[in-house]
Amino acid sequence: MFVDEAEIEVVAGDGGDGAVSLRHEKYVPRGGPDGGDGARGGNVVAVANSHLRTLIDVTYRKRYRAGDGGRGGGNKRRGKEGADASVGLPIGTIIKDASGGGIVADLTYDGQRVVLARGGQGGRGNASFATPTRQTPRFAEKGEPGERRRLRLELKLLADIGLLGLPNVGKSSLIARISAARPKIADYPFTTLVPNLGVVRLEEGSSFVVADIPGLVEGAHRGAGRGHSFLRHVERTRLFIHVLDALDPGRDPVGDFEMLNQELRLYSEELADRPQLVALNKIDLLPEEEKLVAIEETLRSRGCEVFRISALTGEGVKSLVGRSSRMLDELTSGQPEEIPQGVEQGERPKRPLAVNRVGKSMFEVSGDDVERAVVMTDLQNEEAVRHLHRRLERMGVIRRLRELGASDGDRVAIGKIELDFVD
């Protein structure tokens, strides 16, 4: 089954809580605080895998959850790091935020690793808060909750060449002739229901990938013939081979050529401007020479290189493949010259501090740093709350609330938590 769209939920691990601990050893005077830090929660990581061809695996497992970080312990013991969760995806997968936040990542090479959801930061133990003036802090930070995201996955095949053409013109036969792909072939329209990929290997050792794109008919740009579902798979190709039926008396090859190019243009102007070669197929059935010559002259007048081929017997195919290979060499490769090492961070811009008045006695504060500070504070601990107030002052939150007219007792929402304003 070919699956090229899916939606998943990824949940990173929560950070571990810091520990509150005081040393009580017989021969250690003034032992002091020794609460250790909590550990970071695990990340959810996408891994591009060249052995995967579809998104079928993620349709059966909709939720990926990483491990939580361990809490800190006495004697400054740090918690155990949360285990990462991996999501194996095929090369060519585009990962989007399902809530409309744009593209998170684009998997373009084997082994690429991208963090989709970041694990929560571990809370600091009370040993981290000891100062000359606060020698026995009796509070620690809570672990930060891990990120939670809904993501939409779209697979766009990574192929060098896309085969275009109406149903039953011989695209499947051609890809079977030039590669090891074995698509279903029959003499009726829409035999090919899913895109097929084939690797073409040349005598000199070079190779390229060809994709047979099915379902393209008039109105494909509007989704007719599953056009939208399959047109996305030609977006990454660098060269098109337009296959035309040179024999069918009921069709106009030039008209078919112009119609499909118009569909490309309506779907994407950039796609329509990519290089094309034209293959006049089924010449083994001996179409009229005058008709072939007229078709060739018309297409060449439009700037096209035309090849007469028979996908069934192989006649003319070698010349077409050779020219395709040379054209690919002339075009700039879409692959990165150097494969980056390490793990990339999925796209999610940091939110800056923002303070707004939303009612007579209600204020709203947002921003990644301030929301993290609040959510990691033990609001049941008076000493921890005083420490948070000092942090908010250093961040400029208190000053901006004063400027907006906040007074004691007003409500301040920071993320999902509401606090009373105290000046």
Which residues, other chains included, contact 54 with Cβ-Cβ below 8 Å and sequence gap of 6+? 1, 2, 3, 4, 90, 155
Query: What are the tens digits of pLDDT across the range 72-118?
Result: 999 899 999 999 999 999 888 999 999 876 889 999 888 999 999 99
**Quick one: the chain helix, strand, coil %, rounded to 5?**
25, 25, 50
Query: What are the tens digits of pLDDT across the range 18-40?
Result: 999 988 776 666 678 999 999 99
Indicate the fold that domain 354-420 takes in CATH.
GMP Synthetase; Chain A, domain 3 (3.30.300)
- Cα 85 versus chain centre, distance: 16
Which has the minimum average pLDDT: 175-179, 247-251, 407-411? 247-251
Distance between CA atoms of residues 29 and 173, nearest Å:
86
Mean pLDDT, residues 351-355: 93
pLDDT at residue 219 above 60? no
> Among positive and negative, which fits the CA dihedral 208, 209, 215, 219?
negative
Mean pLDDT, residues 408-415: 93
Strand stretches in 122-238, DSSP E = 148-155, 161-164, 196-201, 207-212
* CATH architecture for segment(s) 5-155: Distorted Sandwich (2.70)
Distance between CA atoms of residues 114 and 331, nearest Å:
28
Mean pLDDT, residues 277-302: 89
SS3 281: strand
Domain with CATH 3.30.300.350 in the chain: 354-420
For the chain, what is the mean pLDDT?
85
Mean pLDDT, residues 354-373: 94
* 58 φ/ψ angles, rounded to the nearest 5 degrees: -80, -10
Distance between CA atoms of residues 337 and 266, nearest Å:
32
pLDDT at residue 217 above 90? no
More confident residue, 175 or 249: 175
Q: Could you tell me the pLDDT band of residue 334, with boundaries at 50, 70 and 90?
A: very low
Domain with CATH 3.40.50.300 in the chain: 161-330
More confident residue, 347 or 133: 133
What size, in residues, is the chain? 423
Q: Say what percent of the chain tops pLDDT 70.
A: 87
H or E element at residue 174 = helix 171-178
What's the confidence (pLDDT) of residue 34? 92
Q: Say what percent of the chain tops pLDDT 90.
A: 48
Mean pLDDT, residues 57-65: 90
Distance between CA atoms of residues 368 and 366, nearest Å:
7
Q: What is the dihedral of CA 381, 384, 390, 396, to 10 degrees?
A: -90
What's the confidence (pLDDT) of residue 228? 46
Class of 161-330 in CATH? alpha beta
Q: Could you tell me the pLDDT band of residue 230, with boundaries at 50, 70 and 90?
A: low
pLDDT at residue 379 above 50? yes
- Here the tokens at position 50 are 């060249």
In 3D space, the residue among 119, 163, 165 whose CA is nearest the CA of residue 143 turns out to be 119
What's the confidence (pLDDT) of residue 336? 46
SS3 50: coil
In 3D space, the residue among 77, 88, 60, 65 whose CA is nearest the CA of residue 125 turns out to be 77
